[in-house]
Amino acid sequence: MANLIQVIGVGPGHPDYITPEASRLINEADILVGGERLLELYKDTGKELYPVKNNLQEMAGYIRERYRHRSIAVLASGDPAFYGILEHLKRNFAASELKVSPGISSAQLACARLGISWHDAAFHSVHGRGADGLADLVRVHPKVIVLTDPSRTPAVIAGMLAAEGIKGKKIYVCENLSYADEHIGEFTIENVPGDVGTSGCVVVICDE
């Protein structure tokens, strides 16, 4: 019987947020696949490491050639099912070939830091995606959580919302969550600085 491909959420970044199950599965794996920053934690373990950059199709081929006779773990930032790598893997492998272990998402941690619930939030990601539909979400929902990327920064998002006539909302910019340089800034749509969240972050847009 072929090995299952382990798809493992490793949390927002700091090792403290990796679950015990995730740690066990990572330790049992022969090969780790993931972003360079994630793999940095395991560079001295003797495991084979395959960095993921802009090579998702090549990654799928690499896994397919090996997983039947070697144990492979695909590491995903946050939770693999929350705007993560799971959808891409499902386009290349059957559900029966994948086993998913959830992780703590940056959106969850952002809400924990802010002391707010997230069950009533709408979610959107502009990370590698467009911002289509975001303004409509913000108009309809009192709380929207957005994952950003370096080209779609909080200031860019705020400018787009302002151009759509949306005003009076608070914007919390949650940067580097779980790391030593973690920072959370509170702004309004009209005054988000251009230099915050430029490497990607979680933005919470809400009425109060």
- Express each pLDDT in 30-51 by its tens digit: 999 999 989 999 999 999 999 9
In angstroms, the CA 101 to CA 73 distance is 10
CATH architecture of 107-206: 2-Layer Sandwich (3.30)
User: To which CATH superfamily is domain 5-104 assigned?
Assistant: Tetrapyrrole methylase, N-terminal domain (3.40.1010.10)
pLDDT digits (tens, 9 = 90+) for 46-72: 999 999 998 999 999 999 999 999 999
What local confidence, expressed as pLDDT, does residue 1 receive? Answer: 46
Confidence of residue 159 (pLDDT cuts 50, 70, 90): very high
Q: Hey, where are the domains in the chain?
A: 5-104, 107-206
Structure confidence at residue 177 as a pLDDT band (50, 70, 90): very high
| DSSP output for the chain | -PPPEEEEE-BSSSGGGS-HHHHHHHHH-SEEEE-HHHHGGGTTS--EEEE-SS-HHHHHHHHHHHTTTS-EEEEESB-TTSSSTHHHHHHHS-GGGEEEE----HHHHHHHHHT---TT-EEEE-TTS--TTHHHHHHH-SEEEEE-BTTB-HHHHHHHHHHTT--S-EEEEEESTTSTT-EEEEEEGGG--TTSSTT--EEEEE--
**Mean per-residue pLDDT for 7-11?**
97
pTM for this predicted structure: 0.91
Mean pLDDT score across all residues of the chain? 95
pLDDT per position as a tens digit, 99-135: 999 999 999 999 999 999 999 999 999 987 778 899 9
